[in-house]
């Protein structure tokens, strides 16, 4: 019975550790350089393991939870590691405008300039910039919508295939909106 | 309306403000890794921030070249990152120590404290 309880506690402690480190990893990789994020993750994992290793096996669940509590919220840790200068957000604002409205008003060129400006940002992480580059530009969904929806209505046979172009347009728009929301949140941090 | 700060709050503010130099002082005694260092801070002067925020502080001190780090093999598991104070760090610590003594001495005079 006691061995069963020990096993349950050990599994619960492992889950708590993994969940905490997963959250830290997600935040760190979004806001810090790759090397900084990796180093922070390894050190925090080592911190928890060192605390657990110094305790009797029967107490490991409690010790893991206590170590996690004492370490604090991953958001606070990553925020304190994020030493990007507060202040001007002009570049990010211009990039966001070009990636959204700019890509509609000045097709292709507006989006290209937006991506170039995004890469000069000091506030966005490399992941943010990659997403800004790889995500479909806002103008693209609007530009392809008439083509895709037109072909669906003229060539459709009433089957489920008709829904595919609409779904594609919605997918493009959703991906664009998701990336823009992420970038806008990263500016406010 | 906020009242005058109490002794515990003043002590906490002082500990928080001097944490970088406390870290340097502890590391000046010998190389250490994150968990060990935090245990030492907690037992000697007390922690006023989340323990996790010591790691970003160590990263900042590294960027300022006041401490250096290296991954060393560990008996207990994967390699550990050990920190040591650089020559520049020792100089910064000496400067802080001198400025601190001078400031405390001046404050003692103003406050009428006799040692």
Q: B1: which 2 tokens?
A: 């309306």
CB A136 within 8 Å of CB A172:
yes
Closest Cα in chain A, distance from residue B94 (Å): 26
What is the pLDDT confidence band of residue A149, given thresholds at 50, 70 and 90? low
pLDDT(A123) > 70: yes
pLDDT, tens digit (0-9, with 9 covering 90-100), for A35-47: 889 999 999 999 9
Contact A43 B81 (CB under 8 A): yes
pLDDT(A1) > 50: no
Q: A90: which 2 tokens?
A: 């002009």
Q: Which pLDDT score, from 0 to 100, does residue A82 have?
A: 73
User: Which site among B52, B57, B74 would you substitute to test the A interface, given the most A Cβ atoms closer than 10 Å to its Cβ?
Assistant: B52
pTM of the model: 0.64
Q: Measured between alpha carbons, how far is A134 from A128 in angstroms, rounded to an integer?
A: 10
Closest Cα in chain A, distance from residue B108 (Å): 34
- Which among B38, B55, B77 is the nearest to A49, CB-wise? B77
Using alpha carbons, select from A86, A99, A185 the residue that is nearest to residue A138.
Answer: A99
- Which among A50, A72, A73 is the nearest to B35, CB-wise? A50
Q: Which pLDDT score, from 0 to 100, does residue B69 have?
A: 95
- Which among B49, B59, B81 is the nearest to A81, CB-wise? B59
Q: Measured between alpha carbons, how far is A59 from A185 in angstroms, rounded to an integer?
A: 40
Q: Which pLDDT score, from 0 to 100, does residue B31 have?
A: 96
Instruction: Report DSSP state, residue A38.
Output: H
ipTM: 0.83
Contact B81 A42 (CB under 8 A): yes
- Which among B53, B76, B80 is the nearest to A76, CB-wise? B53
Q: Measured between alpha carbons, how far is A45 from A68 in angstroms, rounded to an integer?
A: 10
Question: Which chain A residues are closer than 8 Å to B49 by Cβ?
Answer: 72
DSSP bridge partners of B33: B82
Question: Which chain B residues are closer than 8 Å to A42 by Cβ?
Answer: 78, 81
Q: What DSSP line would sit under A116-183, residue for residue? A: HHHHT-SSS-HHHHHHHHHSPPHHHHHHHHHHHHHHHHHH--SSGGGHHHHHHHHHHHHHHHHHHHHH
pLDDT average, residue stretch A110-115: 86
The tally of CA atoms less than 13 A away on the side-chain side of residue A38 is: 4
State which H helix or E strand residue B81 sits in. Answer: strand B77-85
């Amino acid at each position: 019975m006691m061995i069963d309880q020990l096993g349950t506690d050990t599994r619960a402690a492992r889950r708590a550790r993994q969940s905490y480190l997963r959250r830290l990893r997600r935040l760190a990789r979004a806001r810090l350089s790759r090397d900084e994020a990796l180093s922070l993750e390894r050190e925090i994992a080592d911190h928890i393991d060192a605390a657990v290793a110094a305790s009797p096996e029967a107490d490991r669940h409690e010790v893991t939870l206590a170590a996690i509590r004492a370490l604090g919220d991953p958001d606070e840790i990553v925020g304190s590691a994020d030493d990007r200068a507060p202040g001007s957000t002009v570049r990010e604002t211009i990039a966001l405008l070009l990636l959204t409205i700019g890509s509609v008003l000045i097709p292709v060129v507006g989006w290209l300039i937006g991506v170039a400006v995004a890469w000069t940002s000091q506030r966005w992480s490399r992941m943010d910039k990659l997403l800004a580059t790889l995500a479909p530009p806002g103008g693209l969904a609007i530009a392809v919508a008439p083509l895709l929806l037109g072909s669906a209505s003229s060539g459709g046979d009433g089957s489920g295939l008709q829904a595919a172009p609409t779904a594609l347009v919605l997918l493009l728009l959703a991906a664009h909106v998701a990336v823009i929301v992420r970038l806008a949140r990263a500016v406010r941090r | 309306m906020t009242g005058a700060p109490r002794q515990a709050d003043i002590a906490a503010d002082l500990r928080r403000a001097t944490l970088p130099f406390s870290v340097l002082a502890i590391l000046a005694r010998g190389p250490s890794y994150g968990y060990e260092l935090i245990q030492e801070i907690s037992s000697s002067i007390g922690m006023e921030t989340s323990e996790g925020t010591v790691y970003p502080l160590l990263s900042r001190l590294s960027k300022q070249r006041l401490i250096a780090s290296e991954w060393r093999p560990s008996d207990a598991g994967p390699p550990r990152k050990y920190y040591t104070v650089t020559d520049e760090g020792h100089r910064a610590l000496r400067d802080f120590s001198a400025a601190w003594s001078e400031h405390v001495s001046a404050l003692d005079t103003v406050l009428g404290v006799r040692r």
